[in-house]
Each structure stands twice: as structure tokens, then as C-alpha cells.
Structure 1
Amino acid sequence: MSGVVLAAHGTRSSVGRRCVETIRRELQELLGRPVRLGWVDVCEPHVSDVVRDGDVVLPAFLGAGYHVRVDLPTAVAEHHGVTLTPHLGTDEAVVEALAGRVAEAGGPWPLTIVGWAGSRDERSRDQAAEVTRALARRWQGRAQVVLATPAEIPALVVGSPVPVGVASYLLAPGHFHDRLRSAGAVATTEPLGSHPRIIEALARRVHDVYERPWGHVFPGLGSGAEGLAVQCPTG
């Protein structure tokens, strides 16, 4: 039977690593099968050292940046029969989890900032903008919703005549979340972390591997390449 590998970015934050381990553990409980953890950067073991032939690899990433498009396919390329599923992307579960974190923190606020790490990758920027627009539609008439990096948020807070809150569009605590929290907003949500909708979205990707033909577009992820399951050759 094939195994399941959760592939995460990596962080020097011990709190961030514990958060990702919680995601792995709760995913394992939901699936009822072992889930191994591999890192793409900073931490060990690396994904390439964890993955085995026939595994299903789940990218625990919000955006389609370099790690998702290049590093992960490279890490699994030497193994046979490995399926690399779509990253979390613009899945409705991400929007629902982010809205849930905002509600937990007392929002939405008149000005709600979707705080993210930023990216040079156009695909990642487009996906973050799409999530922001989805939240704006959800809270239409209740909040103005904008996307901003930690460097951009302080000026928005100072210049706002209304209370400002930050929705942390990050998967785990670490450097960027610390910067969001120190940006001066009235409230900052917790990262998405092990929110039930995130765990369910990851589990659904595993189930879909066995229920759908290889290369089928996964629901909620659009029709671009970021929505495809990629299977490596079996021989």
C-alpha cells in the first residue's frame, strides 16, 4: 500500500514546527493511515529523504511558488509511481478556514487586511488576490478587504480612520506571522494551521488520488496546471 507524505516549507520557529506536526498528526487521524513529514527548506528530513516509491505527496503550501512548481517535483522525480497532489491554492476550504480564524479573533473588522508573506511569483500573487476577493464577497457591506505584506501593513493601520484587523494568510507561526502581529492592528488572527477545513482539504486530496484518473482537475482548484495531480512514471 502506498504511503502519504506531508511536504511543508520548513521554519526555524519551534512553534511553527509544532504547528506543522499537529497538521500531520490530525491528518493521520482523519485518514486512519500513517502520514510522514518531509520539509522542502530549512528543516530536516528533506522530502527527498522521506518519500518512497508509490507515495502520495501532499504539498502543504498556500501558493504556487518555486517550491511547489520546481523543488517538490524535483524531490520526488527519482521515485517511481509517486503522485504529487495539488497544493492548497484557492480551494474553498482555505477561504473558509481563513474566515473562521477571523471570526475567532472577533472580526471581520471595518478594514480587514489579508496579511501574507508576499511572493515574486505571479501565480502565488494571483492566488492570494483570489482568496482576498473571495473574502471580500463573503463580507460585502461589512468590511473592506485588502491584501498586504508585513512591510505594507503599518502604513495602512496608521492611515485608516476605522479599526484594522489582520487575517494571517499563513499556514504556520514563524517570522512572517510575528511581523504581522507587530504591525499595529487591533487584532491578528492565528495562522491557518490545523483548522479543520485545512485538514479536510488535505485528506480530500488523498481520497481523490484513488477515486479519480491521474491528471484529473481537482475540485476547487481551477483548470490551470496548479489544479493537476502529477504522477511520476512507474518504471
Structure 2
Amino acid sequence: MNAPLVAVAHGSRDPRSAATIHALMDVVRAMRPDLDVRTAFLDLSAPRLGDVLGAVHGDGHREAVVVPLLLGRAFHARVDVPAAVADVQQRLPRFRVHTSDVLGPDSRLDEAAWERLAQTGVRADDPELGVVLAGAGSSHDPANRLVADVAARWQARTSWAGAVAAFAAAADPDVPAAVADLRARGARRFAVASWFLAPGLLPDRIIRLAREHTGEPVLAEPMADHPGVAELVLQRYADALAAASHPAEYPRAQ
């Protein structure tokens, strides 16, 4: 029997966020109908990770794989997820819980965000276009650099006036600074690409600021239920199981 896959997202007070995560997991289930796939949240949404893992154990499973639906190894990945798993392991010491790496960095995320932007009709050969790649922002610098690196790769493959990362909180540049940078490079039109899995309060903040500073920018949807993201979730699941069987061959990312 395959170990169940328990995907855990951060959670949000915005009901659109949980609905989008559930839609993503429906795509995962369609790709692996043989697999028991469950959805959990760290905070603000239900069900919580500990409750879902407890239910998996209660259904008779001896192990599970937790896949954090997080784009980088910031605070939630380094602290919140391990703490929630440790609490379950303390209560259920014979129940094995394997935790996969986070989703990013991975080229499938780059392509998912790129395709969402392309779906708006944005062209790669528009020299007057400035693109803001919007992320949540973190006090953990590597998580922010991941987004900036994606923007730099996009810049290299296009004729745009510029592509820069901007963050909703906790990191620079913010949206006004990013727009000012793009204007200085010659941008006359603007688009906002999404380095978010789901809609919510932080993406809405990005959109509001972008409208205040650019008028009516082109707005891309979050990566959400893109097939490449679903494939990545399944890859992280498989990697975690392989690491549990052969730990020396699968060192965890730091």
C-alpha cells in the first residue's frame, strides 16, 4: 500500500486560497488515481496538518509523506512544518512521517508562472513592457533571491524593458520601487506575474499597489492548479520516499 501524500499549504483567511489548493490537489489525484492524497493547512484554514496526519494514522496507515506546498525554504518550511510533524510523532511514535523538500526552486515553477503570464496575451518581444514578478517576501534572503533569479532568467529570454521581482512584505523592492525601476529602464506598459500558488491577501496587496502606480496593469493568475505544479508535488513525494529508503543518496536541501 502506498504511503498517503499529505500536502500542506500555509492557509489563509481568504476562502479563494483554500479552494485553489484543493483544485491543485484534484489535479494531483487525477495524475495518480492510485494514491491517497489529502490536503492540510498550517494555519488560518482547516483541516490542520496534525489533524490530517492523525486521521491518516486512524485509517490504519503506518506512514505518510508530507509535501509542503511552499515555494522556498523560509520560516514556514524551516520551523512550522517540522514543529507540526514533531508534535504528531510525539503523540504517535510508531507512525512514520516523512517530509519532502519544498517545491522551489524548480524549473516547473518557472514555467508555470511564465505560462500564466503568457495566457494574458503578453508578448516576449515587447520592448516597452515592464514585468513585475510578485512574491510574498521573506526575512530569509535565499527565498527572495529565488524569485529575483526567475525574473532575471525571464529578462534574458525576452525583449522587455525589464523584469524584476517585487515583494508584498518583509523584503525589498516593494511594488512602487519595482515600478520606478522599470520606468527608468523605459517601460511604458506593465504586467504583474504571480509567484504565488493561490490568491489571497498578499497577492491582493500586490495588485492594489500595482494599480495605484501603473493604472491598469496586465494581471496574471497564480500558478494554482497548473499541471507542472501538480507534477512537482508528485516528484517531491517520490523523492521523499526514496530518501527514506536510501538516505545517503538523497541529501536534504538546506
Report the TM-score, using the length of structure 1 for normalisation: 0.84
Query: Does the CA-based 8 Å contact 1:180-1:188 persist in structure 2?
Result: no
Moved more, 179-188 or 39-48: 179-188
Task: Specify the alignment match of 1:70 in structure 2.
Answer: 79
- For residues 31 and 241 of structure 2, the distance between their equivalents in structure 1, rounded to whole angstroms, comes to 16
Write the mapping of 1:43-54 to structure 2, written as runs, cut at 5 A.
Answer: 43-51=45-53, 52=57, 53-54=62-63
Write the mapping of 1:151-166 to structure 2, written as runs, cut at 5 A.
Answer: 152-154=174-176, 156-157=178-179, 160=183, 161-166=187-192
SS of 2:96's equivalent in the other structure is: coil
Deviation of residue 126 (structure 1)? 2.3
Deviation of residue 135 (structure 1)? 2.3
Deviation of residue 155 (structure 1)? 5.0
Instruction: Report the CA distance shift for 1:49/1:216 in structure 2 as closer, same or farther (over 3 A).
Output: farther
Task: Specify the alignment match of 2:134 in structure 1.
Answer: 115
Deviation of residue 123 (structure 1)? 2.5
Q: Could you list the structure 1 runs, at least 4 aligned residues long, displaced by more than 4 angstroms after superposition.
A: none
The percent of aligned pairs where both chains have the same amino acid is 30
Q: Which has the larger radius of gyration?
A: 2
What is the one-letter code of the residue matched to 2:72? G
* 1:128 paired to 2:147: yes
Structure 2: stretches of 5+ with no match in the other structure: 90-94
SS of 2:38's equivalent in the other structure is: strand
Task: Specify the alignment match of 2:27 in structure 1.
Answer: 26
- For residues 211 and 149 of structure 1, the distance between their equivalents in structure 2, rounded to whole angstroms, comes to 35
Task: Specify the alignment match of 1:231 in structure 2.
Answer: none
Task: Specify the alignment match of 1:173 in structure 2.
Answer: 199
Query: Does the CA-based 8 Å contact 1:114-1:145 persist in structure 2?
Result: yes
1:50-97 per-residue CA deviation (whole Å, 9 max, x = no partner) reads 124410111101121111011111211243421111111110100010
- For residues 84 and 252 of structure 2, the distance between their equivalents in structure 1, rounded to whole angstroms, comes to 22
Deviation of residue 157 (structure 1)? 3.8
Structure number with the higher helix fraction is 2
Query: Does the CA-based 8 Å contact 2:100-2:239 persist in structure 1?
Result: no
Report the TM-score, using the length of structure 2 for normalisation: 0.78
- For residues 83 and 248 of structure 2, the distance between their equivalents in structure 1, rounded to whole angstroms, comes to 18
RMSD of aligned Cα (Å): 2.2
Deviation of residue 43 (structure 1)? 1.4
- Give the length in aligned residue pairs: 220
- For residues 138 and 46 of structure 2, the distance between their equivalents in structure 1, rounded to whole angstroms, comes to 24
Task: Specify the alignment match of 1:15 in structure 2.
Answer: 16
- For residues 156 and 3 of structure 1, the distance between their equivalents in structure 2, rounded to whole angstroms, comes to 42
